Structure 1
Amino acid sequence: MTSKYYLNQLLDENILLTPWVFGAFVFFAGIVVYAVWLHIQKGTTTTSWSESLLSILESSNLPWLLYTSKGKGFRCSNDLSELLGSSKNLENFNDVFEFLNKEGAESLKLALKKLLRGQKTIRTQVMNHRGEALYVKATLVLPQRQILIWWQNLTSEQKLTQKINEQVTLLQEERKLLLYLLDSLPTPVWFRNQQGLLEFCNKSYAQALDLPQETIITQNRLLWGYNSTSFKQELSEPLNTEIKKYLIFDGERRLMSFHETADEELGIAGFAVDLTELKKALSELERHTAAYREVLENLSAGVAIYGSDKRIKFFNQAYSRMFDMDENWLHSGPTLGEVLDDLRQRRTLPEHADYAAYKKNQLQMVTTILHPFQELIHLPDERTLRKITSPHPMGGIFYIYEDLTDSLILERKYNIQMAVQRTSLDNLFEGIAVFGSDGRLRLTNAAFRRIWDLSANQCKEGLHMSAILDSCQNFFDEHKDWNLRKSKLLAAATDRIPKKKQVYRQDGSVVDFSYIPLPDGSHLMSCIDISDTYRMEKILRERNEALEKADQLKSELITRVSSELKSPAGEIQKVIEILYKGTQGELNKKQLDKMKSIDKSAIKLLKFADDILNLAKVEAVNSYSKEENISVCPFLRNLIEEMTAKYTDKSGISFTIDCHEDVTTISTDPLQLRQIFSNLLEECFERAKTQQEIPIHVSRENQDIIMTLSRYDEKYDQKMNTESVAPSWRLTLVRNLIVMCRGTLATQIFENGLHEIVCRFPINIKSTTTPKNIKLVQSAVK
């Protein structure tokens, strides 16, 4: 038998289940083959062969059983008893079958029979009495036809295999998680072996190079460009310094910092840190610091910052100017103690009884201050400063000095002015109250409380307007719905529409109320008790109405009297005209003289009646006027034609009108203007000499119309003093009518008898009330 035959008997395919069992079987099968080979080579005896085989089997770690088919020998390993669950050593095959279940024993017996019948190797599976599955492989060993049986506990091997598989699965999951975490990192991570070749890189690494991970590892592509001449260290050595380089990630230029650490057994691990945001933050910090310094430099308040070493780190120009300090010396970085000594020496530091204790406290505060605080300091030069002391976020302390001298002076002046205004308001007869935009009382005076009968508590500052109205409810109508009335009063007092009205109160008093919205959203209300004025005004109004009614009756009476006078005078003139014609017979000379006297008296009576009617028209025009735009010159020409046709006996008198081109229209009542011009013309017809031409000159001066009329009077006496000539009642009436139009009338009589009348009235005429002189003229006519 060759060694190959024995090897095939011991090593058959599919015999082992685990790598460990497989290795053990191979090892011991090799030993058995080697022992057979030695037996063949040396020609040893059967006894020496058996001893060699037993020595080899006893050194095995697997349970075994060696049995001679003739029943002359039974040997087994010590651990076979433990495997079968026996507490004693096994002495024969019956002991083995005893510790197997019935099916296992029958299966093992059947396998042994097949082996003895010539089958080379028998494999089977049996169960011991503990329920453990045992794998059995039986082989016939020549030359003594011994049966060699290998035993394997499948249950323990399965448990071990399951445990190993669980550990492998756990390790695989941990590896998968680790790879996922590394691939999820936004920064590149890599691993190089001891020769410096890449073995792993994450996705960020591959993304930076824009290559697949397999290609990067195959080509050993390093992010920082290891092949560059900038790096002289060996490839197998890690980076000994931090390397910074710009890379492109997703189209963005990023600044990366590369780091590596080495392990003698494992290799080199490296990672890259993205410094782009850090660089931006540092640049932004520098920009903010520069802006912060610029802002502090431009502040009107003095700023000084001391570091934790108690030396000045920053100061602005306002600080050096405020304390008149040398900037070059401050730039040298003096300590806080030196600065305090300098200020004390130049008397720009507040006086302290114990300066040493004050200085010590200030120096300790640099490192012990926790919260900011402020205080007022009074310098010997009569300046008052607000000093704000605060801990610096970077360590140290900073001071802010603000000069409050001018502010305190203004505040003092303001307080004095407010006190003066308060005293003035309290001594006003008019009640004043100011409510804020929220409807709450801000200011009131004593007169307001007196008018509305309010106490100091009822006018307390901060009370709402509705509460004050509730306190004044007794002054309003109690029969009406007070809530509705109050809401209307509140709406009227806060609608920001200026108004003025009179409030009639239940006690019979009258209050003149005014509301003015203020620019800041507040509401100013003023009130004054006008009860006495109102009662007096009411009495005067009633008397005025009575006078107006009497005046109206008087005008009606004048009109009636004038009409009654004109009717008989007209009848007399008609009778005289009939008598003049001689239809009733011829009249003698004496009768004719009487008739002429009667006719003259009738004419005077008609004229007197016309004058009375003119006065009545003046009253009518004064009571009712309607303004129109009137062309002056055409209006005057038409009126002259009417008057010339009326005074036919004065046919020798004519008028010439010189109207300047800039005289256009005036705005006034046409009836009033007609009265002025008609009375002037009638004055000329009645007093002017016959056979003369009266010039009328109309011009414009600024916003006034000037009309000048010159005539020679019929009854002028050169010996009579011109100043003693009294004007006619008609001219006086014209003067007062022009005064009603806010104009003037001037007359002048020259030595040659020339009488000049100058009328001046504005273009836009607004009539006023009837002057007293007109009533005097009316009385004179009567």
Structure 2
Amino acid sequence: MTATTALTASDVLAASPSVGSLYTTGGIAGAAILAGILSAAFISSFWNARRRNTAEAESREIRSALSEASQKISSYQALIADKNRRIVIWDGLSGQIEVIGQLPLETGAPVQDRDFIAFGRWLSPRSASEIENAIDKLRGLGAPFDLVVESQRGEAIEAQGRVTGGRSFVRFVALNSLRAELAELQIERDRLAATIASFQALLDTIDMPVWQRNTEGRLNWVNEAYSGAVEAKTRDEAVREGRELLPTVAREKIRATLTPDSPFHDKVSTVVRGERAFYEVFDVKSRGGSAGMAIDTTAQEALREELKRTLKSHAEILDHLGTPVAIFDKDQRLQFYNQAFQQLWELDLVFLESRPDNGALLDRLRAKGRLPEQLNWKSWREHALNVYRAVETQTDIWYLPNGQTLRVFANALPQGGATWVFENLTEKVNLETLYNSLVKVQEETINHLAEGVAVFGPDGKIRISNPAFRKLWGLGEGDAKPGTHIRSVETACTAAYGQADGWRRFGQIITSFEDERSNLSGTLELNTGLVLDYAVTPLPNAQTMLTFVDMTDSVLAERALTEKNAALQKADEIKNDFVQHVSYELRSPLTNIIGFTDLLKTPALGTLNERQAEYVEHISASSSILLTIVNDILDLATVDAGIMQLDFAPIALDGFLDDVAQQIAGRMQEMNITLQITAPAGLGAINADRQRLKQILLKLLTNAANFAPEHSTIRLKCWRDGNDFVFKVSDDGPGIPKDILDTVFNRFESHGKGSGAGLGLAIVDCFVTLHGGQVTIDSVEGRGTEVTCRIPSKILPDIGSIAAAE
């Protein structure tokens, strides 16, 4: 406390002015201030004196309480220091641990605090785990506990955990003899309860019904398998309702025969979930009642019955087999034989039914001359009977005196005895002999083939190869002998011809593991000039055959023909290019010539004399003919180039024929030839190229006029055949000889007195073909010629409107 100094009245008077001055100007204010100061001084002195008295009283009380606390702590420490208890305190704020007291040394508790807190070092594992979990919950959740733990020496110690004042403490108390015995009994009870719970949990997991009965025979516990077998929802329901798994007869039998010294063990049949089931039941009796367990043997019983049926079925099957079979038991006596066995050895049924010994059976067969003769019969017999002591199956070949060959399998049985199986190889041996003969014939045949043949196995090794194969590939006999791998053959062929790709492919095909193998063929050209056709053919047993045929001569001839054909095609292309080029180059000057000729005919340029006019007419006629030829060549070149396009449009045939007649009339008049057109009324219309169709008719009429005699008649007959437009041009000319009739449609073919270049009928044939039609010619020498054309088209419905439009 801070002391405050008190002012006395004399001090105040000494410091104050005289009394007389109080009544001067401002004296009243000074007096007031002085009075306030005096009052504050008196009050402060009084308050300080009171506080001093209070502080002294509180100090005396604290010293008294501290003395009492010290006395209590001393008494508590004396009490805690008892050797029968020990306290561990955890401060909740600082986390420090304080250990007070000791436990008796016989408990096994360590003296050192650090060792004592490590509970796993001196408590049993179960107790150490329990106390550590309880302490964690005490410190974390404030949950108190009371436990009885057991040290590793088997001593019982009581542990109490509490929380107070923000601290957690656990008190360990060593129990006296009575309490220790009680604790030990509690520990033993807990151990027994845990053991019983473990066994019950184990019994709940097994798929075998287990039950426990009291002394009165009623159920007091069952496992999950039992409740499931009796179709109860829970185990308690099964116990409460007393659902029984075993039938009444079985339970009565158990009650009558069960004693503590003789447990019950028997097979019981019952019904579970509506189906018959078989159980192997065990039941034991104790002072508290009885306990039982049932093992489901339904599957075993079914297997046992199935085994009986299987053995019977096997016996029936073996009896119907064509392979002789005999089974001997562990005493080497005949237990089973089938009909094939009896028929093979021709033995009496009475002898076989007597179950003879195996050695006696062999002696009987030798006496009847059925077994092969042996130099030492005793040794051979002992060797045959060693099968009963052998581990592996014994196999032997018997060549019987009657010519039969048998393969004998003798196999020892696990339960004792042996099985003898006799396989008749007579037919197989005969087939192998025949097969070997066929193989020899095959080899001789392959060796004399002109084609190279090689057969490879699935391992890539040669089975067969003929001389032609080795000759084609330049191989020696050692390079292609049987057993040579295809890689070695590939190396030899590569060294000889430098061809590796083909053989590498052959090796991949031959040694591949593909399920489906297909044929392969092709051609190989070697560096030597040889051309070989090869074929890869799959064979049975995963074998592969390679065949090579020398096709050098054929390939050379084919190449020569191919080169000649290519040269001809090139020449034809050059010809077409030349004709097309020349035709275009000729058209311009011809057009100029025709133009100037027509200009010379004009009177405006002057009058020509008779000879000049004649020459001009000849020039005009020749120029027109030449222009026609050039146009025809251009048309054919366009067709050959594949760029000819027809302009299809509706054509009214009646008006079209009139137009053609007017255009050809002048030519007919010049040649003194009459044109007769025969066509029915209403021909209708067709879809066609008007210009090309007119060219066809004009070419045919002009060609007929060129060959027809003067004052003769050329006939044009037209009609409809379904949707087709058909017309025929005939004349009374000299006809066409048979030797040139097939060439009249060829280009530049001119016969008779025709002045053209021989392109008229060729153009007719091209244009008719472009229309999708056909042209035929019929001519008899001396009687004239008929040319018939057929142009397909659809009938147009409105012919009148088409004609009006034209």
Normalization by structure 2: what TM-score?
0.44
Normalization by structure 1: what TM-score?
0.45
